[in-house]
Amino acid sequence: MRQLVLTASREVRWAEMPAPELRDPGDALVRPIAVALCDLDQLFVSGQMPAGGPVPLGHEFVAEVLRIGPAVSSVRPGDRVIVPFQISCGQCPRCQAGSTGNCQQVPPRSMFGFAAAVGGDWGGALCDLVRVPFADHMLVHVPDGIEPAAIASAGDNLPDAWRTVAPQLQQVPGAEVLVIGGGTPSIALYAVQIARALGASRVVYRDADPHRLELAETLGAEVVGGLPPRPSETFPVTVDCSRSREGLAFALRSTSLDGHCTHTGILLEPETPLPLFEMYTAGVHLHVGRAMARPAIPHVLDLIKAGQIAPELVTSRVAPWEAAAEAVASPETKLVIVRQQP
């Protein structure tokens, strides 16, 4: 079968790979039909993040079920499903506690769409066939009436955005929210939509990119260009998607007393200074780490089904499957690649 890969020399090309087979009774084989390029994928492709050997690309996707193992009961061939990017069993103590990205039944950091040394040998979604283990737990049905391309990011970036604002707004209903964009652009814009949908009284979006500022404004945010040296106001909920030391420090200093700051980007500097004394005196809660995608997917789908968020508004390009190699090599706020359906 064909798999789109990023080579060690940063070339994006189709490669021939062995097709996966059902290995365990709980496995499913699925064919990706809509794949979104994650904000992190762009860092690999652009060379901003080390990639190592060949990387099978694609980990945000909607797929069609082709075959199922004898123990699978929740899906059947022909079903359209969302596939979370992290591999999880759903039964171990960590999964039961909601930490599906740290499942005890698979090697650490098991994920689709990364090099074997980073995420395990699970392959990527920009291919002809994907084996999904623990299918009854992993696979989530696409709701009726929703196009796969609109929710291609429901397996990663949308849950990532949800976790930055939803639990916080549940704790502090109606809170004002600050989102700093730029480094992980689609997550930041999804966070704006979700915060507005969940009742934030005000969402302020900061970025240096005019297009993203314009889009954030249409999504309901009050937009401000750039970052001054020091903030002039504070927010109970802050989200740093800047991928910069300056952005993280600004978000932390913008977090009000006992407030919550979530850092979604990946800072590649070996050391990142923090305004610890200011955080200490304000009692700031800082969360850094991967999103736990699988438990958040139903919450995201509820918002989409209710018409409260429209992820497709963030999509900057929809490309056909055969143009995937060329499309992935060009930077986008949110790229979605779709396979023509019969």
Q: Residue ranges of the domains in the chain?
A: 2-155+293-338, 158-288
Instruction: Say how far residue 276 (Cα) sits from the centre of its chain.
Output: 28
In this predicted structure, what is the pLDDT of residue 198? 98
CB 210 within 8 A of CB 241: no
The token duo for 52 is 């190592």
Q: How far is it, in rounded angstroms, from Cα 167 to Cα 222?
A: 22
Across the beta sheet with 222-225, the strand order is 222-225, 202-207, 176-180, 235-240, 255-263, 285-288
Q: Flag whether pLDDT at 342 surpasses 70.
A: no
CB 89 within 8 A of CB 106: yes
Q: Flag whether pLDDT at 73 surpasses 90.
A: yes
The token duo for 162 is 């949800």
Provide mean pLDDT across the span 264-292. Answer: 90
pLDDT digits (tens, 9 = 90+) for 220-259: 999 999 999 899 999 999 999 999 999 999 999 999 999 9
* Residue count (the chain): 342
Q: How far is it, in rounded angstroms, from Cα 98 to Cα 37?
A: 25
Task: Give the least confident one: 48-52, 197-201, 242-246.
Answer: 48-52
Q: How far is it, in rounded angstroms, from Cα 252 to Cα 20?
A: 45
Q: Flag whether pLDDT at 52 surpasses 80.
A: no
In this predicted structure, what is the pLDDT of residue 51? 65
Q: How many CA atoms lie within 13 A of 255 on its CB side?
A: 30
Provide mean pLDDT across the span 216-223. Answer: 98
In this predicted structure, what is the pLDDT of residue 47? 76
In this predicted structure, what is the pLDDT of residue 257? 98
The CATH T-level fold of domain 2-155+293-338 is: Quinone Oxidoreductase; Chain A, domain 1 (3.90.180)
What homologous superfamily is domain 158-288 in, according to CATH?
A: NAD(P)-binding Rossmann-like Domain (3.40.50.720)
> Among residues of the chain, what percentage have pLDDT more than 70?
98
CB 310 within 8 A of CB 190: no
Provide mean pLDDT across the span 106-118. Answer: 88
Please state, rounded to an integer, the average pLDDT across all residues of the chain: 94
138, β-bridge pairs: none
Tell me how far apart the terminal alpha carbons of the chain are, to the nearest angstrom. Answer: 19
